[in-house]
Structure 1
Amino acid sequence: MPAGYFVTGTDTGVGKTITSCALLHAFAMTGKSAVGMKPIAAGCEQGKWVDVERLAEASNISAARALINPYALLPPIAPHIAARQAGIVVDLAVIQQAFDALQERAEIIIVEGVGGFLVPLDERHDTSDLARALALPVVLVVGLRLGCLNHALLTARAIHASGLSLAGWVANQIDPHMESQAENIRALQKRLDCPLLGVLPYRERIAAKEFAGLLDITQLSQLRKR
């Protein structure tokens, strides 16, 4: 049975894409066919949606761009605003159909969310509704910076309130000058009821394949067996 994970973050810009790509490489290293999906991308740079490009490059199978990224929005703003400006209505059923099609092609699907876990997608739905529609366990990316403890714990509470399982979390060192990083990580390990999959160090140039070796995805496999 194909499996997948929904990658969300404590905020925008905390490393969801690099974590998603590292997960794809990590599963590929175990011999799994793995494909990344970015249901909604907001922000086009020189005619490209960079997150989508990176996910496609990290996947070890190819798939139609319409399946990997059903909704590509131009401005780098909240998706419900970008969609309204473009006269588009984000339809969760369209995303579900694309996900189902990807399931026929890959054993592992890594779905990267947009923004944080409760970012609005339209007037009625937010990212949590998308994750719930796909019924995927969630991997939480915590951007290590001042305020991350509160953001991480609030996000974890929102994930549980949505009825979804929090499969694991990744600590991403986005602020090289953050004080007491180790203490912050230990505080979250005590308070989040899921395993720490790995700590991603700060890098000027990020190599997702290199980071794959820093993630312990065996803990995710154990979750699937329970």
Structure 2
Amino acid sequence: MKKHFFVTGTDTDAGKTFVTVGLLKAAKRAGIKSFGLKPIAAGAERVDGVLRHNDGVLIQQAGSVNLPYEQVNPVVFETRMAPHISAMKENKLITASRLEGYIKGALLKPHEFALIEGAGGWRVPLNDREFLSDVAKRIGFPVILVVNMKLGCLNHAVLTAEAIVRDGLQLAGWVANTGPERMSHYDENLASLSVMLPAPLLGVLSWAQDEKVSQNQFDKLFLTL
């Protein structure tokens, strides 16, 4: 049975790619045919004259199913800003149906596990009337929410979870992710979110943790999905 998830976050730099790549590597270690997609990204660099976004490259490398970069990250902008503003500056139009088409095209590739990573938070605009969440609604996959454990995370996490559920999607679970320094009263905030969010806590992670520890945690996280 194929498993698909949409990965979103409470805000930009919450750790979506960290979680996506970690889960894809865990799937690879388990011998599962897997790949990830980053349908839209902004803030790329030119490599041999071609735009490449670091998140897209990491996701492409983490999967066990070989996909060309253009399929992993079909819409990419050079300037790091809201995608709809980047699109306007380049006289391009991004639509939810277009991104849905890219995703469904990639999903035709034989696989067992796939992750679709969003950009920024849940309500990132694509144009003046559509959001990236509309793409998530169109494909209908369960959602994994990555919570950036910092001051303000309670509000961000609860509002995002409410929006996901209101959009008619299943919140499969959430991941607590933190940087090199823990927020003040980290344990209390984690306990509060465990009560407030209507989905299980899948894992507690940190960018600063040891690679071996990280692998073990992602292996356990993968098995819960």
Q: Deviations over 1:145-177 (max 9, x none)?
A: 011011000000010111001001110012614
Say what the alpha-carbon RMSD is for the aligned residues.
1.8
Separation in structure 2 between the aligned mates of residue 26 and residue 188 of structure 1, nearest angstrom: 26
Deviation at 1:74, TM superposition (A): 1.2
Match of 1:103 in 2: 107
Query: Helix, strand or coil for the counterpart of 1:214?
Result: helix
Q: Deviations over 1:177-215 (max 9, x none)?
A: 4111111111111111211111112418x85x8634213
Pick one of 72, 75, 78 that aligns with 1:68. 72
Deviation at 1:103, TM superposition (A): 1.9
Q: Deviations over 1:51-95 (max 9, x none)?
A: 101101111111122221110111100010011111111133332
Separation in structure 2 between the aligned mates of residue 191 and residue 110 of structure 1, nearest angstrom: 25
Pick one of 193, 202, 216 that aligns with 1:213. 216
Match of 2:7 in 1: 7
Match of 1:38 in 2: 38
Paired residues of 1:102 and 1:109 also in contact (CA < 8 A): no
Q: Which runs of 4+ in 1 moved over 3 A?
A: none
Could you list the runs of 5+ residues in structure 1 that have no partner in the other structure?
Answer: 221-226
Pick one of 105, 109, 123 that aligns with 2:128. 123
Query: Helix, strand or coil for the counterpart of 2:174?
Result: strand
Taking structure 2 as the reference length, the TM-score comes to 0.90
Q: Deviations over 1:103-158 (max 9, x none)?
A: 22222111110110001111111121011111111000001101101100000001
Query: Helix, strand or coil for the counterpart of 2:118?
Result: strand
Q: How many residues align?
A: 218
Separation in structure 2 between the aligned mates of residue 210 and residue 93 of structure 1, nearest angstrom: 40
| Structure 1 residues 23 and 176: alpha-carbon distance in aligned structure 2, compared to 1, 3 A threshold | same
Separation in structure 1 between the aligned mates of residue 20 and residue 153 of structure 2, nearest angstrom: 19
Taking structure 1 as the reference length, the TM-score comes to 0.90
Paired residues of 1:137 and 1:164 also in contact (CA < 8 A): yes
Separation in structure 2 between the aligned mates of residue 102 and residue 167 of structure 1, nearest angstrom: 22
Match of 1:24 in 2: 24
Say whether 1:78 aligns with 2:82: yes
Could you list the runs of 5+ residues in structure 2 that have no partner in the other structure?
Answer: none
Query: Helix, strand or coil for the counterpart of 1:169?
Result: strand
Q: Deviations over 1:26-49 (max 9, x none)?
A: 222332111010000100135431
Q: Indicate the larger mover: 170-179 or 10-19.
A: 170-179
| Structure 1 residues 202 and 54: alpha-carbon distance in aligned structure 2, compared to 1, 3 A threshold | closer
> Percentage identity across aligned positions?
38
